[in-house]
Amino acid sequence: MAPIPIRTVLISDSVDPRCRAVLEENGIRVTEKQNMKNDELIAEIKDYDGLVVRSATKVTADIIYAANNLKIIGRAGTGVDNVDVDAATRKGVIVMNTPSGNTISAAELTCALLMSLSRNVPQAAMSMKQGNWDRKKFMGAELYGKVLGIVGLGRIGKEVASRMQSFGMRTIGYDPITPPDVSASWGVEQMSLEQLWPQCDYITVHTPLMPSTVGLLNDETFAKCKKGVKVVNCARGGIIDEAALLRALESGQCGGAGLDVFVEEPPKDRSLVDHPNVISCPHLGASTKEAQARCGEDIALQIIDMVKGNSKSSTTLPIPHLKNTFLELCLCEGTSVISEKLRLMEEEVFAKIQIL
């Protein structure tokens, strides 16, 4: 592909220092300004060629249209749900992310929550700190022989499966993109969601947040699950209907939840956070030194590849004939090739969830 002239980049979130270092080593002038309000960013962005964000900055249409020279928006993380991709496309701005940078960290946190749910580790630790010694109260259950349902079998879902299989769990799953024979090679048996719900002792979700996945676990689906099923969400807040989850916890239909993400962050309604059967974290899925270094360096290298015209970047582009749908494309030496793992699901495909 033709080189894209990038001379100045604004970093508006806390990104690993390696990002700035790589960009400056390649002659790009970098400015870092964090915690800007929307109107401040609109005023600041006007003359920059590139913008790098993490999660805090919401790149709205107003910001994109105010950026006279903007050519690239890079998100140092998985997904681009904090970027108005439609507005960027209309203005001819490329949107990039680092879909593999957080994979191991997010998978490890998912596994940690699954294990904590099975043995009540955080609750027991807190009880000890309060001076108690209550062994009976925190009776747990083995993971060995239990069934783990994985909804979304992309990079993270695959890594979770391989790790939990080491504990002797049977892994089943659903994904509208990954072929069943491929997931079978990882030891995951694919099936419809209607078949999956009633079999699971534990469920973990690893899908993008889009209209067809909002409230994927709701009153209706909880009712189809085993009584006492435990659920984990380290993906996006809203995939599990929070009100329905609270009702399921109160009734005992859900035996526990591990939540790293919420619809509103931080959550003002603390009903779930304060529930005794909920283990919650403040969105720590990507919060490891390794993940942040990887994402920071990856997004900088992608920008440099674009500048040199030899991009092998993960670039998110809308598909014109589908509403709110995206394919993750791998731009390899000027040729657009659909990535083997389409982690930003096509809505038309993922909508199958609602009719299976």
Give the active site residues.
236, 265, 283
Compute the distance between CA of residue 275 and CA of residue 229 in angstroms, rounded to an integer.
16
Helical packing angle, 103-119 and 155-165, nearest 10°: 40
**Pick from 199, 201, 203, 165: which is nearest to 183 by CA?**
165
Asked if 77 and 101 touch (Cβ cutoff 8 Å), the reply is: yes
| Vertex 12: Cα angle to 10 and 15 (nearest 5) | 100
Compute the distance between CA of residue 190 and CA of residue 145 in angstroms, rounded to an integer.
18
DSSP characters for 301-321?
A: HHHHHHHHT----EEEEE-TT
Compute the distance between CA of residue 233 and CA of residue 240 in angstroms, rounded to an integer.
7
Asked if 84 and 59 touch (Cβ cutoff 8 Å), the reply is: yes
> Rounded to whole angstroms, what are the CA distances from 219 to 146, 180, 208?
23, 28, 20
**Pick from 25, 18, 28, 80: which is nearest to 49 by CA?**
28
**Pick from 200, 204, 191, 246: which is nearest to 224 by CA?**
200
Q: 175 exposed, middle or buried (CB, 10 Å; 0-12, 13-18, 19+)?
A: buried
The conformation of residue 81, written as its DSSP 8-state character, comes to: T
Compute the distance between CA of residue 338 and CA of residue 356 in angstroms, rounded to an integer.
26
Asked if 196 and 221 touch (Cβ cutoff 8 Å), the reply is: no
